[in-house]
């Protein structure tokens, strides 16, 4: 299995801040990486795929970068709706695996 490790596990920030979440793969996955947002009691929602392609309807303050084994999700100018948990997912192999999640909460 390809292991995905996110950091940090928890991130505290304020409205208007810029934050970045990192996801590392245990082996190269090219750009076969997606990011999801999950709010309490809700299903995850796709934000970004192919490491940097924004899903339709997702605000442009979300962006993704990276390739190989290191990736990041950046949110510029945090909005109240952005406080949630974020997961990365690799799809280099169809034995899909997710990171353990990063909870973004209000400072």
**Interaction site with other proteins (CB under 8 A):** 1, 32, 34, 36, 42-46, 49, 55, 87, 89, 91-101
Q: Residue-wise over 56-77: b if at least 16 C-beta within 10 A, else e?
A: eebeeebbbebeebebbbebee
Q: Which is nearer to other proteins, 78 or 85 (CB)?
A: 85
Q: How far is the CB of 14 from other proteins (least distance, A)?
A: 25
Separation of alpha carbons 18 and 4, rounded Å: 23
Q: How far is the CB of 43 from other proteins (least distance, A)?
A: 4
Q: Which is nearer to other proteins, 18 or 68 (CB)?
A: 68
């Amino acid at each position: 299995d390809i292991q995905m490790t996110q950091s940090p596990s928890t991130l505290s920030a304020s409205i208007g801040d810029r934050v970045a979440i990192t996801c590392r793969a245990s082996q190269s996955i090219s750009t076969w990486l997606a990011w999801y947002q999950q709010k309490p009691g809700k299903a995850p929602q796709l934000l970004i795929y192919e490491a940097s392609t924004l899903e339709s309807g997702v605000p442009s303050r979300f962006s993704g970068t990276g390739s190989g084994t290191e990736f990041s999700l950046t949110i510029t100018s945090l909005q109240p709706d952005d406080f949630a948990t974020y997961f990365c997912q690799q799809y280099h192999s169809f034995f899909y695996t997710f990171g353990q999640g990063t909870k973004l909460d209000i400072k």
